[in-house]
Amino acid sequence: MSATEMNGKELSKKIRTELAGEVLQLKQNGVTPHLTVIIVGDDPASQSYVRGKEKASAEVGMSSDIIALPSSTSEQDLLGQIDRLNKHDSVHGILVQLPLPDHINEQHVIESISPEKDVDGFHPVNIGKMMTGNSTFLPCTPYGIITMLKAHDVRMEGKHVVVAGRSNIVGKPVGQLLLNENATVTYCHSKTENLTDYTKEADILILAMGRANVIRGEHVKNGAVIVDVGINRLEDGTLTGDADFASTAAKASKITPVPRGVGPMTITMLLKNTIKAARGLSAVGK
Ligand code: GUN
């Protein structure tokens, strides 16, 4: 088999055009969806992600701002900023770029964001709603993955999904969302013995380990659907996923490329969540 590419850049373009229409409508009702992104420190990768979010917001007609704080910022100061934004009526979505410097407790920060403005879907209230299958903000990367699978008519019900990676941002929630779609889910992680015994059994394989090219053609089932969330930079500067693209694409039925795969979908879902947050406010007439 030779795989069809699930191109997240193309699908994002289509969805962002629809979102631009929704933003226009909200603006006509006097509400401009607004996202505030907080970044602490000067990690170049985080800075680049944050700029991407700002650019994408502008593309669909939303407004956004970035609050850049020095790495010496205290937890108390950061919580103070979030408290101010929670109370600010024209700020609909708040995103604190992770990771944070070691002296700041990430969980304290996540829990300080008002669940109604938590467009990352990381607040325990929103995670609880997601787990019980209730409407909420879904974490952006898992939401992007499910949206992509649906757009490509991938049947999830009854299928064996293997998730490799158990981060709070990707692995854990994507497994939960697939369970909500009636898939049978197996989680693997860094302590899993004989990882490839599991990957070989996957109808749908979600790779979120951050280990360049470790899954090769002989580790996947014929006709599998592969979603590669890994973004690994090789010594020569090129980006690659957790899957060795050539050998896995030769066996899979569908596969996401890296880059232009899951990455653009994450930002698109962030825009979608922010528009949803803005709607919540407009609904109560603020
Ligand atoms: N760092 C890496 N991915 C993410 C994400 O989805 N949200 C936030 N806030 N930080 C991240």
- pLDDT over 90 (residue 282): no
Report H helices in the chain.
8-28, 44-59, 75-87, 106-112, 124-131, 140-151, 171-180, 195-199, 245-251, 262-283
Determine how many CB atoms are found less than 10 A away from the CB of residue 95.
Answer: 24
CA of residue 118 to ligand 1 center, whole Å = 12
Q: Whose CA is nearest to atom 2 of ligand 1?
A: 98
pLDDT tens digit string along 186-224?
999 999 999 999 999 999 999 999 999 999 999 999 999
CA of residue 251 to ligand 1 center, whole Å = 31
Looking at residue 281, what is its pLDDT?
55
**In the sheet where 34-40 sits, what is the strand order?**
63-69, 34-40, 93-96
Are both 29-114 and 140-263 of the same fold?
Answer: yes
Instruction: Check residue 142 and report its DSSP letter.
Output: H
CA of residue 1 to ligand 1 center, whole Å = 35
What is the model's pTM?
0.96
Question: Mean of the per-residue pLDDT values for the chain?
Answer: 96
Q: Whose CA is nearest to atom 11 of ligand 1?
A: 98
For the chain, domain boundaries: 29-114, 140-263
Its CATH architecture, for the domain 29-114, is 3-Layer(aba) Sandwich (3.40)
pLDDT tens digit string along 148-164?
999 999 999 999 999 99
Confirm whether 120 is a catalytic residue: yes
Which ligand 1 atom sits closest to the C-alpha of 270? 6
The set of protein residues with a Cβ atom below 6 angstroms from ligand 1 is: 95-98, 120, 140-141, 169
Which ligand 1 atom sits closest to the C-alpha of 140? 6
- CATH number for 140-263 (one of 3.90.1150.10, 3.60.20.10, 3.40.50.720, 3.40.1450.10): it is 3.40.50.720
CA of residue 99 to ligand 1 center, whole Å = 8
